[in-house]
Amino acid sequence: MHPLAEELNQRLAPTVVGRTLSRFGHRIFFPRGIVAQSAEAKKSATTFNATVGIALTDGEPMILPTIQDHLPRLSPSETIDYAPTGGDARLRALWKDAILAKNPELEASQISLPSVVPGITAGISLAADLFVDEGDCVVFSDLCWDNYPLIFETRAQAKCAHFPLFSTSGGLNVDGIVKTLQKNAVNGKAVLLLNFPHNPTGYSPSTQEAHALAKALTALAKDGLNLVVLCDDAYFGLFYEKDVYQHSLFNLLFRAHENLLAVKIDGATKEDYVWGFRVGFVTFGAKGLTEDQFSALDQKVLGTIRTIMSSSSRVGQTLLYKELSSLVYHGIKDKYGKVLEERYRTVRSILDHRKTGLSLRPLPFNSGYFMTFELLKGNSEELRKELLRSEGIGTIALQDKFLRVAFSSIDNRDLTTLFQTIFATADRLWGA
Amino acid sequence: MHPLAEELNQRLAPTVVGRTLSRFGHRIFFPRGIVAQSAEAKKSATTFNATVGIALTDGEPMILPTIQDHLPRLSPSETIDYAPTGGDARLRALWKDAILAKNPELEASQISLPSVVPGITAGISLAADLFVDEGDCVVFSDLCWDNYPLIFETRAQAKCAHFPLFSTSGGLNVDGIVKTLQKNAVNGKAVLLLNFPHNPTGYSPSTQEAHALAKALTALAKDGLNLVVLCDDAYFGLFYEKDVYQHSLFNLLFRAHENLLAVKIDGATKEDYVWGFRVGFVTFGAKGLTEDQFSALDQKVLGTIRTIMSSSSRVGQTLLYKELSSLVYHGIKDKYGKVLEERYRTVRSILDHRKTGLSLRPLPFNSGYFMTFELLKGNSEELRKELLRSEGIGTIALQDKFLRVAFSSIDNRDLTTLFQTIFATADRLWGA
């Protein structure tokens, strides 16, 4: 074990972080090497800075003119220079402010400074690196993004356990989550991965369900379970019904208990309509973590980022910073949210009034980009192929009996045709 | 083991890839899930495409206006849409053409289509995922980028072994490389990591040394060693002396032997002056690999990318594509190369004529961004601190006795002052 890693481990040992770090998480540290020496020089090298491996002329990075032509209002430092390992300091601070504004329970001193990673996948994968060993218990919903099993089972070799997302009464299956954790925890530790608004169903918990879940998880922590809760907030903010809990579950978990580490993984990807920018964030919260402990954890995160991709896209971070700090940002974002909400209401209305496709049962949905049908008859892969082949319509088949429809991708005027064609095709294949 | 992984493993089993994949490398596959179904829909969903989790309006991704304002000549599809998992198909093809043009021995059919990863670090880390298990032998130079030990020792837990970069006669230590591999190979397998132009010394092998090294490595493979050679070509192209081998070692290794897998890791990062874009490439070559086997390996790479970051920056890939296909590209790039070469010649001349700082011995250098001094007296961390504190000059200290100077970062007019100050400071600290 490197002495720098040992020092970080000592600082984290009395906390839930120390108790839940993976073996890699224990080994990793941020070297006092080239990057650290360069950061020091950035502050103090007022004469010449010959540290970093970039090419400068007159103090600005040398940029090829075709690239500069496409970015006329940005300087080379804002586009082609390296970003710091953990992200642009201004953007990290601004994103923290944004998280605080969206989640009114949060206290600035009780959550970490968000680290920039290249997208939400990278945030989830980084959390897997830091907190999941082979054989560890990781719990997530039976219906989920197909990258979860790839990251946690295939990559991290966790023992994954699943809960049915919905209870028999059709709401969030809080009991199922708790029982799955209790049954599968290994050595007093479990990792729970929550994703709301949910992919693929488009479900978010009600305010009452969110509080019930937070209470139940806190009780597990109180009973001695060391619990890491990863909140995949990719689709945050797109809540279409009044009774939906309008904040992240992180808002209720960040200081729930000394045994509960809450990890918020979010990003500009879906929230700010910049999918291909690859700018995501990872933020931590746990009851009683001190500034010194947050800083030790930050070193672990920086070391991990360095081993995977060194840093995230500078131009993406710059453009996001400019967007978030623009005066028109909130107004425009509300307007875009309304465009998606209008599509949601249209889909609801189509479903409420349909007379065909009744063998397709919509799962509960109230938020996000998607809705999902459960097929009471037939096979969803067959339906997907038939829709693609005969109708030129693209949908996603999951687990043979679910069909995901991304209404976020379809203009409002086309939704009726889209859904009527899906209904007619299902009826044609397997009868009304 | 997932059936899709098993199928890929069967196709790769008779090859050096099958014999050198890590346990993770064996497990990984690219799921026939959301991404695969979306790719299918992209081709065939001519009516509506409701597969992907992005928000579209009139068929274009919804872009926030502040972001569009900064990218006036690019469409939202070119900037904020997701890129494919393995990268923009046009860019991959163009980069392959560029690699072929820079390395005249290569045959298009005997190397893979380059995969896009977010920077050269990500390429190295991906290779570590695919080919390095705990306890495996990984060999690299004693002087190296400090991220190598972090990736291969701390992250991958390889048994790393090092060779002195230079022989006693001052050239590339080919014998040392061979002996280190022979002595440390585990279970008939070894991974060799080569980096030319070299960080931190700025050394590249001569044509004669490059051929000698390729011959020696081929002989090891012929003797039965399964050898993965990672060519970190980050600084490729910046060769300042005529006798330097002007191509990648990949050029000599891609079909050297059935037991030798050559992996070229390169990128736009340093070659095309876009450090912060995070666009790197990974390309494979081995004697006898068939199209079907390259395609199976590509699935492994795609699966790995998906578990780490899903995809790389779209805007970076678009801007790089536009740059590489611009009519002025080669002319401008030559000009920029000449700017760096002029600095190199100035540094050479300063060293040839110096009368001070004689306790600083320059290690051999002929290429790239850097040169490195070996301190015959004193301590390089002390020298670095003194330069920063008293002179406002930033340099990098390595292993207590080496000081790296990035002349790429310093304007030609300032190099004399920079070096004279370094010499004077060393003399002041420890005597001339």
Q: Say what the pLDDT of residue B35 is.
A: 87
Across B411-428, average pLDDT: 98
DSSP A24-37: HHHH----SSHHHH
Q: What is the mean pLDDT of residues B400-426?
A: 97
Compute the nearest-CA separation of A312 from chain B (Å).
7
Mutate to test the interface with B, among A94, A144, A154 (most CBs of B within 10 A): A154
Q: Would you say B373 and B363 are in contact if contact means Cβ atoms under 8 Å apart? A: yes
For residue A73, list chain B residues with Cβ-Cβ distance below 8 A. 69-70
Stretch A380-400: mean pLDDT, rounded? 96
* Minimum distance, in Å, between the CA of residue B317 and any CA atom of chain A: 10
The b/e string for B23-34 (b: 16+ C-beta within 10 A; e otherwise) is ebbbbbbbbebb
State the smallest CA–CA distance between residue A34 and chain B in angstroms.
6
- Give the pLDDT confidence score for residue B316 in this predicted structure: 95
Question: What radius of gyration, in Å, describes the C-alpha atoms of chain A?
Answer: 23
Q: Which of A308, A315, A407 sits opposite B276 (nearest CB)?
A: A315
Scanning the structure block, which residue is given the tokens 């040839």?
B352
Distance from CA of A44 to the nearest CA of B (A): 6
Under the banding of pLDDT at 50, 70 and 90, the label for residue B271 is: confident
For residue A15 the two structure tokens come to: 């906390």
Cβ contact (<8 Å) for B64 and A336? yes
Residue A21 phi/psi, 5° resolution? Answer: -60, 140
Lowest-pLDDT range, A41-45, A88-92, B104-108, B189-193?
A41-45
How many Å apart are CA B330 and CA B27, to the nearest integer? Answer: 42
Nearest to B276 among A42, A64, A79 (CB): A79
Domains of chain B, earliest start first: 3-30+85-324 (3.40.640.10), 330-430 (3.90.1150.10)
Contacts with A313 from chain B: Cβ below 8 Å:
118, 276-278, 313, 315-316
Amino acid B52: pLDDT: 85
Of A70, A276, A308, the CB nearest to B83: A276
For residue B117, the chain A residues in CB contact (below 8 A) are 309
Asked if B145 and A313 come within 8 Å (Cβ–Cβ), the reply is no
Cβ pair B319:A70 closer than 8 A: yes
Is residue A35 pLDDT above 90, yes or no? no
Tell me the residue length of chain A.
Answer: 432
In 3-state terms, what secondary structure has residue B156? coil
Please report residues of A whose CB lies closer than 8 A to that of B49: 393-394, 409
CA distance to partner chain B, nearest, from residue A368 (Å)? 9
Q: Inform me whether the pLDDT recorded for B34 exceeds 90.
A: no
Residue contacts between A and B (CB atoms, under 8 Å): 389
Predicted confidence (pLDDT) per residue in A220-278, tens digit? 999 999 999 999 999 999 999 999 999 999 999 999 999 999 999 999 888 888 899 99
- Residues from chain A contacting residue B396 (CB–CB below 8 Å): 34, 37-38, 51
**HSE-up (13 A, CA, CB side) for residue A400:** 2
Tens of pLDDT along A78-106? 999 999 999 999 999 999 999 999 999 99
Give the tens place of pLDDT for each residue, B203-234.
999 999 999 999 999 999 999 999 999 999 99
3 state SS of A405: strand
**Neighboring chain A residues of B24 at a CB cutoff of 8 Å:** 155
Residue of B nearest to A400 (CA): B33
Cβ <8 Å between A323 and B118: no
Could you say which DSSP state residue A262 is in? E
Cβ neighbours of residue B358 closer than 8 Å, sequence gap 6 or more: B432
Sheet holding B360-362, edge to edge: B360-362, B370-375, B402-406, B396-398
Q: Calculate the alpha carbon distances from B5 to A236, B21, B134, B286 in Å.
A: 34, 12, 21, 21
Report the chain B residue with the minimal C-alpha distance to residue A150.
B307
Answer yes or no: are the C-beta atoms of B410 and A48 closer than 8 Å: yes
Chain B residues in contact with A54 by the CB 8 A cut-off are 270, 275, 369, 406, 408-409
Contacts of A95 (CB under 8 A, 6+ apart): A114, A281, A324
pLDDT per position as a tens digit, B387-408: 999 999 999 999 999 999 999 9
Q: Contact B118/A118, CB-based, under 8 Å?
A: yes
Q: What is the C-alpha end-to-end distance of chain B, expressed in Å?
A: 65
- Please indicate whether, in this complex, the C-beta atoms of A409 and B55 are within 8 angstroms of each other: yes
Q: 10 Å Cβ neighbour count for A348?
A: 16
Q: Look-up: residue for tokens 């030319």?
A: B196
Instruction: Out of A323, A370, A405, name the one closest to residue B67 (CB).
Output: A323
Whether ipTM > 0.90 holds is yes
Q: Residue B322: its chain A contacts at CB < 8 A? A: 66-67, 70
Amino acid at the residue B161:
A
Residues A136 and A186: beta-carbon distance below 8 Å: yes
**Average of per-residue pLDDT values in chain A:** 96
Closest in A270, A303, A313 to B278, CB measured: A313
A45 and B394 within 8 Å at the Cβ level: the answer is: yes
What is the b/e burial string over B54-89, where b = at least 16 CB atoms within 10 angstroms of the residue's CB? bbbbeeebbbbebbbebbeebebbbbbbbbbbbbbe
Question: Would you call B62 and A339 a contact, using CB atoms and an 8 Å cutoff?
Answer: yes
Closest-CA distance, A141 to chain B, in angstroms, reads 17
Residue B98's pLDDT band (boundaries 50, 70, 90)? very high
Flag if B69 and A73 touch (Cβ within 8 Å).
yes
**How far is residue A31 CA from its own chain's centroid?**
28
Q: Report CA-CA distances (Å) from A158 to A161, A181, A206, A291, A327.
A: 9, 14, 30, 31, 45
3-state secondary structure A341-368: HHHHHHHHHHHHHCCCCCCEEECCCCEC
| pLDDT given for residue A32 in this prediction | 85
Question: What is the token pair recorded at A111?
Answer: 């959550």
Nearest CA in chain B to A270: B54
Q: Any idea what DSSP says for residue A87?
A: -
A162, β-bridge pairs: A140
